[in-house]
Structure 1
Amino acid sequence: MFKRLSILVLAVICIPQLVNADEGKVTFEKDVLPLFKKHCVKCHNASSRKGELDLSDGAGLFKGGESGQVVIPNKLDDSYLYHLIHDKQMPPEGEGEPLSSDEIHVIETWIKSGSPFSDGTDPASLIEAAEVNQHVIEPIMLLRCTVCHGAGRREANLDLRTKATMLKGGKSGPAIVLGKPEESLILKRIHSEEMPPRDKLLPSGVKVITSGELAQLTDWIAKGAPEVDIKADVATAEVDPLIDESDREFWAFQPPRGDIVPPALDSTESARTGLDLFLLSKLREHGYEFSPEANKESLIRRAYFDLTGLPPTVEQVQRFLSDDNPLAYENLIDRLLASPAYGEKWARMWLDAAGYADSEGKRSADPIRRSAWRYRDYVIQAMNADKPYSEFLLEQIAGDEIVDYSNPDNITEQTVSSLIATGFLRMAPDGTGSDVVNSVPERMEVIADEIDIFGSTVLAMTLKCARCHSHKYDPIPHRDYYRLLAVFQGAYDQHDWLKPTAVSGQTNGIMKNRALEVSTPQMREEVAAHNALLEEEVAAVQKPLSELFENLKQAHRKSIIDALPEQIRSDVDTALSTEEGNRSEIQKYLAKKFSPSIAFDEKAAAKDKDYAALKKKVDEEVKSLNAQKLPVPTIRALWDRGRPSPTYIYIRGDHRQSGRLVGPGVPSVLTDGKTPFEAAEVAEGSEGTGRRLALAKWLIEPDHPLTARVFVNRIWHHHFGRGIVASIDNFGELGSRPTHPELLDYLATKFVESGWSIKELHREIMTSTAYRQSSVVSEKQLVDDPENKLVGRMQLRRLTAEEVRDAIIAVSEMFEQRQFGTPDEVKVRGDGLVTAIAQDGAYRRSIYLRQRRKEMPSFLETFDLPQMNPACQDRAVSTVAQQALYLLNSTMVRELAESFASEVQTQAGDRSKQIEHVFLATAARLPSAEEMEIAMTSLTELEQLWRDHATTLSETEQASFDVELRALATYCHTLLNSASFLYVD
């Protein structure tokens, strides 16, 4: 017992005496402020105010910051600051020492005891009373009312967006009476529960106004609906209080240095290009040189897969291997860059980053995006045309603001292309097509995903981290996220929403759909002509049925009239045949009396067996013909309607807590901090605000810190397996630092100077010595540089999911090279596998397969095709048993292997020539002597096995059973599952 007591006493003595014996005496000045100074004031002071919060004194603390009031006296659960320090979110890791449990207890005690001050200051006196004004009321109206009484719809001719429009009122008169809430129509309707209409809550995506919001509205009206002159928070010529020059000193936020030249080296024989000199210089610092050049067989296969995503044909391999021209390799690169397959390969890189999918995702229904494929085709065509990256970005971010699509007769192919390009900003998962998930929070998720995709793909910045609070690691204030949101507000307005693909049974159609019906006159004429021909065919098919119906109708009429007494037959027949307006009184009487008995409709005609059989046949043919009709061409586009709702900061990302009004802008740290963001002038006829066009033009300024760097790094990553900055989607504080910063700036500058030519960038990289290296590596180098940061060798890489499938198809006789158009269908088998459907016995490239988020093709998914939630900046690469098993057991792969074998038999001669052909097709090289011997032996054994199997077949089956073909197909199937086929050296 004494031992236990001693330990207890010792423990009590060792606890830091941070709290007064009487907990009620914990005060701000004596107990809390010292803790803030120790842990927090470094970032949260009067000059820096990170998160717009100043913790250097009581006034700053109770004023709060971007997250609103952070301490609520007597209410620990509502005190945001307490949760941040208790959960160890603040101070951020690396920014300061976390508060100890005892220190946290001090702050907890202080808040619980009413947050007292030593000098008796009442905390309530420091809390700024929120004035009710138009900026308090407008967010409420936007959230609860303007979907029916705003920009898009004005039921009862009532607009509730502003005080002026409320006073103007609608059909029933003014919505508000200043100073008289009891007489204000809007309050009467709310109290009576007429507004918002309960039957329209779900289809409108709104919820009933809360008691707190109602109290604020009532108070505002009672006070005469006061308005204050508060301008939107935008960048000005004044110094930015939230971002300083030290924030802009980070390497990624500085413009690329345009004066960098390749380093001068003593020996440069192994360097072919400027980029080689940068790499070689760093290698030599570590005592290394480039690895030996890869052999021609490896180079042609590497180049083909890197630029086209397809293997070279046997003829292409043989031609290159026999080409003695010193520029044979350079000429090969030029041919591949000019190949239509180039666009299909490199479009996939961008489509991954954009989050391309042929369905909406989110909900289990996962509705199909009927025209998303047009964006896929746009990217392929842009890549093949070597559209400058600057133009490529401009069209995707603001294509609707650079063309006039107001006059249907003046729409050109370029107009349509620019609008299709904006599909880049329509690729995020979007479940708001269903009324159940179409309220403001779900819409904000869609917008957040798009901003995330934009930030990661174009800027390599994690903008999403500033949605709820200022970024913890990068200088992106909470404010800047909402400024950027305001840039997109004209097209992505959570209060004026356009629905995506409707979900059958879950949408009542109150909101407009976002499909844009825009097409060239030629396209409309082609559709009309195509459909007119089908209408003629429909009429021809229906004619015999119409004639039979008329015959049956006349026969029925005759039978009714013939059954009448003879003396009235003629009168009744005449009455029924006479036009209604020309009938005498007697004829009117007869027609009224006998018309029901001679009535004859489809139901009556169906009783005739011949008619019923013919109708069934005709209906099927008509259905088939109507299915062939072309719909009015639509585009899944993003377009600005020129009437954006005001943008308010959502405190902590909560749409129910609106903060201050902000205007459009870009991340301040990427500017000089003194240049206002100004909307650009849009094309004549466009309704756009010009905000996104201004954003796009800012992005493609030659000295932009990130645009060229990020894209160059992305291309480098795909060629070398690792970016100069390894984190290709994050150039921020938590991202990787560039291994060769001078090289990155050199390439970025050259990229811009080349006119933003993507093909020229490929050529620069692929003709270098660095790219032509072999994958040979010494043990020492493997230990010193396991990640190949120095680029002292080429990395062995596994083919991507699409490359595996496309390569297997390409070596067979079942390769359909048709480009573009609607996606190829897939089917879900009974065992759950999702498989492609052959089109006329052939398969197109994988980029044309329908990619439904919840029905991903099993082949591609097995080899790491991402699901796009919301996008994929860098694919994972796995090596698992399921991949080999899938290739071994897939019916499609076996069929393709048989087709491959048939092609080999047709093209090659004897068995040894066939083996050589198989190796050239699958590995771009001839077999070694050992491989030839193994292959010959294997084929002999396989033939015997198949010969034995043939004995189990019927005579009829044996007659068509080709043992040699089956053996060769099995051997081909084996090589399609080999490392030499699945990997690029």
Structure 2
Amino acid sequence: MQTSFKSSVLSWKTIVSLALCVTGFSGMVCAEDDALTANALKILTAKCGKCHSSENRKADLDLSSIAAILKGGESGDIVAPNYEDSLMWEMISNQVMPPEDEPQLSGAELEVLKRWLEQSKFKPVVNERPSQWEVLPILQLRCVICHGKHVAEGGLDLRTHASILKGGKSGPAIVPGNPAESLILQRIHAGEMPPKRRIVEASIKVITAQEVEKLEAWITSGAPNDPAMIDAPGSEPDPLVSDEERGFWAFKTPVRPSIPLTKHSDWPQNGIDAFIFRAIEQADLQPSSAASKETLIRRVYFDLLGIPPTVQQIEEFLNDDSPLAYEQMVERVLASPHYGERWGGLWLDLAGYSDSEGIQESDPVRPSNYLYRDYVIRSFNADKPYSRFLKEQLAGDDLADYTNPDHVSQEVVDNLIATGFLRQSSDGTYSNITGFVPDRNRYIGAAIEVYTSAVLGLTLKCAKCHSHKFDPLPQRDYYRLLAVFKGALDENTWMSPLKDRGVSSLKPMRLLSVTDTETRRAIEAHNRRVETELAMIRKELSALEVATITKLQDQALNSLPEQIRDDVRSALNESKEKRDKVQQYLVEKFEAQIRFDIERAQTADADFKAKREQVIARIKAKNGEKREVTPIRALWDRGDPSPTYILTRGDYLNPARRVGPGVPSVLTDGQTEFKTRVPFEGSPSTGRRLALAEWTTDKSHPLTARVMVNRIWKFHFQHGIVRTLDNFGVAGAKPTHPALLDWLAVEFMENDWSVKHIHRLILSSATYQQSSLLTDAHLEKDPENELLSRMPMRRMDAEMLRDSLISLAGVRWDKQFGAGDPVASRADGLVTSTAIDNAVWRRSIYVLHRRSQMPTILTSFDRPRMSPNCVERSESTVAPQALHLMNNQQVSSWSTQFAQRVFEGAGEDQEKQVRLAFLKALSRQPDQQELSIALEYMEKMAPGISGANSPADLNFKVLSQFCHALINSAAYIYID
């Protein structure tokens, strides 16, 4: 029987407590003075009732009655026999509660509460009967991996009351009321269950004495089938989240505001400018002047592609005098295949993308994880609607049937690859010693953190152990969301993340061998051809072996005396059962001499051995030509997950009440059920993640669009409109332009969730096209540039820097997709990516992202190691960065190759060299002062250079020094 959870539902402990309180049994005295109790409750209602009443139960705590106080909250009991040990007294005596912004307890009120807690002498309950909902989590934790849905050894399923009574091949697992006759206890007491030989394989621990005691007590009491009290979203008002809390700006659906008017109607070029310039006007400021075309093309290329424009691209733009020149340049850049490499890379930070598992020192590589990286790049290049992009990543396995190999399209395959979004966190569960339930829970928690931080902009991870300190995010909501993922990520029926490690009947691999029908058929046809050729080679091998062994055996027979030769041959050819005594004697005497197996034949005939090894090598090589479906690191719903319980203080050994799937209540009306549907006919899926994906991408969702447009804004303007990218909650930063944020969010959704549409809006705005010139007025009235009265200068990130260096050097190879390029650790401790054919390098996004081997040039410039993801990179300024650019051998080599390209284009004319170097590196010509300084520098450098073979060689060496200096300059590293 299943009953929905109500605020008045009491645990067995509470029911017994109340009974004892009424009868006075076992010394449970709730209050010796009714007047004192009444006074205490009055104080608690007045000073604490706003947050802790039957209508509003913050931290799942109700202080409105003795019964509710006895029940405690999400942190457990709040009263104790000794008042000094009670959580209630700790919180009120240390002035933690009530919160400082609420009316405080007076000294007299504090004294009343102290006397009440002291005199009430709350005592622990004795002889309480455990509920099945306290027993089932124990069986889930210790037994279900071998006795559940996916594996039911001995035909035994211990997941439910009914299946426990049904039992397996040996009979019912329990005999209600008779623990001595219950098979499950017999096996446990005998040390047979869990079986010691499989504990390590299953990554479980032996059931504890306390757990056995609880199981035995439940069976002794008759193993009652208590109703399931499931705390799931329903039609009744939510007592843990108030409508007032739902009124916070970020928790309300964005509505398109009116575009404000500005006094200077000639300033704005689009809606963005109206919001920005209105605020600038109100601050009595003016926007900065427009940036030069040279500045704009460099800004646009780095913002959208992460690489510098070529000289040809610069000159094409500068020479285009049409009014649409800038707009057309932006469109060309947006259409570049390199766009997805830049913006896909930014998304991979949010997903926590890594090509290795981490956790253990071995840090095994994820062989096919690059499929997800390639999917992301292609999605951004195609401007896939962000709503669809999210649906595929959250529930791609539920969007279409992928189980029929004859009807699988590339789109269906992409859906599965997309779910890799939730598979990027460090996962050590491939190893038995790091694959226990806490390890699994850590991985599941990381997946939830990736979703909530990257997509929702909420710090929900804080609610794993207790309700959120600042936001209306009860601990219950964390576990409701965990239940949404449970069909795919169930800590009780785990799967190994790797193909060849930790896989067993108890832990199958979490990889899908699915590809599109056309590719599968091509693979099968290819493998059939290979198998036909293999059969011919094997036949050749067999013939060689038979011929050689026959030859050797004939030679051995011919060496026998002629009078017995035929008799021995006949004896050997006769079956063992039909041999007479003479034949048996001949076999025993001569078989060892006559018979040859493969090993003896190779010893006797060196030529045969050599030929056989050659044929076997051909078989091995031919086998290597077989192709297989590249396994997808996907996430899929296997259906019928185990129940989800709130874990007191996040402790997996301390489950509390059971919850159903749901989303954060504050983002709903609090009175709507979490409804699911069967994704497609025949699907075993719960449909929970599909429901989550549809809720997340609904246009009424308060956060999804806001969070994404804020992130796009950040990568163009250095900071988001909300500066805390992953915290849109109460403790997060307030939006600098709230109306603009909502306008952009609605604009985003109404234009098919197009990311490129938002780029076009931003890049076409006068706000974006401002110069970065800083004036005294700016310093006085907008020192932090919150009003965007000027364009912020931004430093290249790690990937931009490396990719621009290999671009300048002319050694960038633009091959896209596929497995990551290898990295190597050098003897000096540096880690470098490996050049392709010792000549060219691919962009940084295609370098193997191994947690234990990140290229030094990337880590030096703040490329993070994902834990579990990176919502916003830090930007440090430390000595190793300058030292790396100045002294690193690889950087020096690239700068020399850059100089070679300049030398080839400008010859020995140093002024031309400087101009071309500036154009390539900075996308502009030097001004007269810069030109003079550069030429003077080159002139002073020449006498100090030794080893030049000729004037031309000296000229090149000076140029190389100048080019190395140029890439170390702030003008190069910063984007104006």
| 1:460-491 Cα shifts (integer Å, max 9, x gaps) | 11111111111111001111111111111111
Aligned to 1:409, what secondary structure does the other structure show? Answer: coil
Q: What is residue 349 of structure 1 aligned with on the other side?
A: 346
1:929 aligns with 2:928: yes
Q: What is residue 67 of structure 1 aligned with on the other side?
A: 75
1:675-824 aligned at under 5 Å gives the runs: 675-824=672-821
The separation in 2 between residues aligned to 1:303 and 1:251, in whole angstroms, is: 33
The question of whether the paired residues in 2 share the 8 Å contact of 1:257 and 1:745 is answered with yes
Q: What amino acid is aligned across from residue 265 of structure 1 in structure 2?
A: T
| 1:425-456 Cα shifts (integer Å, max 9, x gaps) | 11111111111121211111111111111111
The separation in 1 between residues aligned to 2:105 and 2:953, in whole angstroms, is: 76
The separation in 1 between residues aligned to 2:104 and 2:828, in whole angstroms, is: 55
Q: What is residue 15 of structure 1 aligned with on the other side?
A: none
The question of whether the paired residues in 1 share the 8 Å contact of 2:45 and 2:53 is answered with no
1:965 Cα deviation after fit: 4.1
Task: Give 2:854's match in structure 1, choosing from 853, 856, 864.
Answer: 856
Q: What is residue 5 of structure 2 aligned with on the other side?
A: none
Task: Give 1:157's match in structure 2, choosing from 155, 158, 170.
Answer: 155
1:42 Cα deviation after fit: 4.4
Q: What is residue 12 of structure 2 aligned with on the other side?
A: none
Task: Give 1:387's match in structure 2, choosing from 384, 404, 423.
Answer: 384
The separation in 1 between residues aligned to 2:174 and 2:84, in whole angstroms, is: 39
1:87 Cα deviation after fit: 8.1
Q: What is residue 274 of structure 1 aligned with on the other side?
A: 271
Q: What is residue 5 of structure 1 aligned with on the other side?
A: none
| 1:911-960 Cα shifts (integer Å, max 9, x gaps) | 233332221110001122333344445445656555x3257xxxxxx99x
1:153-552 aligned at under 5 Å gives the runs: 153-258=151-256, 260-501=257-498, 510-528=506-524
| 1:783-803 Cα shifts (integer Å, max 9, x gaps) | 432221101111111101000
- Structure 1 residues 149 and 919: alpha-carbon distance in aligned structure 2, compared to 1, 3 A threshold: same
The separation in 2 between residues aligned to 1:830 and 1:595, in whole angstroms, is: 60
1:968 aligns with 2:959: yes
| 1:11-39 Cα shifts (integer Å, max 9, x gaps) | xxxxxxxxxxxxx9999759987985787
Q: What amino acid is aligned across from residue 659 of structure 1 in structure 2?
A: A
- Structure 1 residues 619 and 407: alpha-carbon distance in aligned structure 2, compared to 1, 3 A threshold: same
The question of whether the paired residues in 2 share the 8 Å contact of 1:922 and 1:980 is answered with no
Q: What amino acid is aligned across from residue 850 of structure 1 in structure 2?
A: L
| 1:163-196 Cα shifts (integer Å, max 9, x gaps) | 2111211111111112211111111111111111
The separation in 1 between residues aligned to 2:103 and 2:671, in whole angstroms, is: 31
1:624-643 aligned at under 5 Å gives the runs: 630-643=627-640
The question of whether the paired residues in 1 share the 8 Å contact of 2:392 and 2:416 is answered with yes
| 1:791-818 Cα shifts (integer Å, max 9, x gaps) | 1111111101000000111122311101
Q: Which moved more, 1:337-346 or 1:238-247?
A: 238-247
Q: Over aligned residue pairs, what C-alpha RMSD do you find?
A: 3.5
1:332 Cα deviation after fit: 0.9
Unaligned runs of 5+ in 1: 1-23, 952-957
| 1:64-109 Cα shifts (integer Å, max 9, x gaps) | 12233223324966x5556666888655565676999x999998x9
1:982 aligns with 2:950: no
1:893 Cα deviation after fit: 2.0
The separation in 2 between residues aligned to 1:85 and 1:846, in whole angstroms, is: 55
The question of whether the paired residues in 1 share the 8 Å contact of 2:527 and 2:627 is answered with yes
Aligned pairs, how many?
942
1:582-661 aligned at under 5 Å gives the runs: 590=586, 593-597=589-593, 598-602=595-599, 605=602, 630-661=627-658
- Structure 1 residues 596 and 332: alpha-carbon distance in aligned structure 2, compared to 1, 3 A threshold: farther
The separation in 2 between residues aligned to 1:726 and 1:98, in whole angstroms, is: 37
TM-score (norm 1): 0.88
Q: What amino acid is aligned across from residue 58 of structure 2 in structure 1?
A: K
The question of whether the paired residues in 2 share the 8 Å contact of 1:434 and 1:502 is answered with no
Q: What is residue 27 of structure 2 aligned with on the other side?
A: none
The question of whether the paired residues in 2 share the 8 Å contact of 1:775 and 1:793 is answered with yes
The separation in 2 between residues aligned to 1:628 and 1:694, in whole angstroms, is: 43
The question of whether the paired residues in 1 share the 8 Å contact of 2:479 and 2:646 is answered with yes
Q: What is residue 888 of structure 1 aligned with on the other side?
A: 886
The question of whether the paired residues in 2 share the 8 Å contact of 1:157 and 1:170 is answered with yes
Task: Give 2:561's match in structure 1, choosing from 559, 565, 571.
Answer: 565
Aligned to 1:476, what secondary structure does the other structure show? Answer: coil
1:53 Cα deviation after fit: 1.1
Task: Give 1:898's match in structure 2, choosing from 896, 899, 903.
Answer: 896
- Structure 1 residues 571 and 458: alpha-carbon distance in aligned structure 2, compared to 1, 3 A threshold: same
The separation in 1 between residues aligned to 2:244 and 2:681, in whole angstroms, is: 42
1:52 aligns with 2:60: yes
The separation in 2 between residues aligned to 1:99 and 1:617, in whole angstroms, is: 94
The separation in 2 between residues aligned to 1:94 and 1:593, in whole angstroms, is: 104
Q: Which moved more, 1:848-857 or 1:26-35?
A: 26-35
- Structure 1 residues 949 and 616: alpha-carbon distance in aligned structure 2, compared to 1, 3 A threshold: farther
Q: What amino acid is aligned across from residue 970 of structure 2 in structure 1?
A: A
Unaligned runs of 5+ in 2: 1-30
The question of whether the paired residues in 2 share the 8 Å contact of 1:367 and 1:503 is answered with no
Q: What amino acid is aligned across from residue 233 of structure 1 in structure 2?
A: D
The question of whether the paired residues in 2 share the 8 Å contact of 1:360 and 1:366 is answered with yes
Q: Which moved more, 1:761-770 or 1:904-913?
A: 904-913
The question of whether the paired residues in 1 share the 8 Å contact of 2:250 and 2:702 is answered with yes
- Structure 1 residues 659 and 525: alpha-carbon distance in aligned structure 2, compared to 1, 3 A threshold: same
The question of whether the paired residues in 2 share the 8 Å contact of 1:682 and 1:693 is answered with yes
The separation in 2 between residues aligned to 1:25 and 1:540, in whole angstroms, is: 96
Q: Which moved more, 1:596-605 or 1:207-216?
A: 596-605
The separation in 2 between residues aligned to 1:939 and 1:611, in whole angstroms, is: 72
The separation in 2 between residues aligned to 1:519 and 1:592, in whole angstroms, is: 58
The separation in 2 between residues aligned to 1:726 and 1:124, in whole angstroms, is: 50
Q: What amino acid is aligned across from residue 927 of structure 1 in structure 2?
A: P
The separation in 1 between residues aligned to 2:477 and 2:836, in whole angstroms, is: 50
Aligned to 1:665, what secondary structure does the other structure show? Answer: coil
1:857 Cα deviation after fit: 1.4
1:28-39 aligned at under 5 Å gives the runs: 29=37
Q: What amino acid is aligned across from residue 678 of structure 1 in structure 2?
A: K
1:556 Cα deviation after fit: 4.9
1:133 aligns with 2:131: yes
1:682 Cα deviation after fit: 0.7
The separation in 2 between residues aligned to 1:533 and 1:887, in whole angstroms, is: 53
| 1:814-833 Cα shifts (integer Å, max 9, x gaps) | 11101111111111112222
Q: What is residue 4 of structure 1 aligned with on the other side?
A: none
The question of whether the paired residues in 2 share the 8 Å contact of 1:132 and 1:226 is answered with no
Q: What is residue 13 of structure 1 aligned with on the other side?
A: none
The question of whether the paired residues in 2 share the 8 Å contact of 1:39 and 1:99 is answered with no
Aligned to 2:228, what secondary structure does the other structure show? Answer: coil
The question of whether the paired residues in 2 share the 8 Å contact of 1:897 and 1:973 is answered with yes
The separation in 2 between residues aligned to 1:697 and 1:278, in whole angstroms, is: 31
The question of whether the paired residues in 1 share the 8 Å contact of 2:548 and 2:601 is answered with no
The question of whether the paired residues in 2 share the 8 Å contact of 1:773 and 1:793 is answered with yes
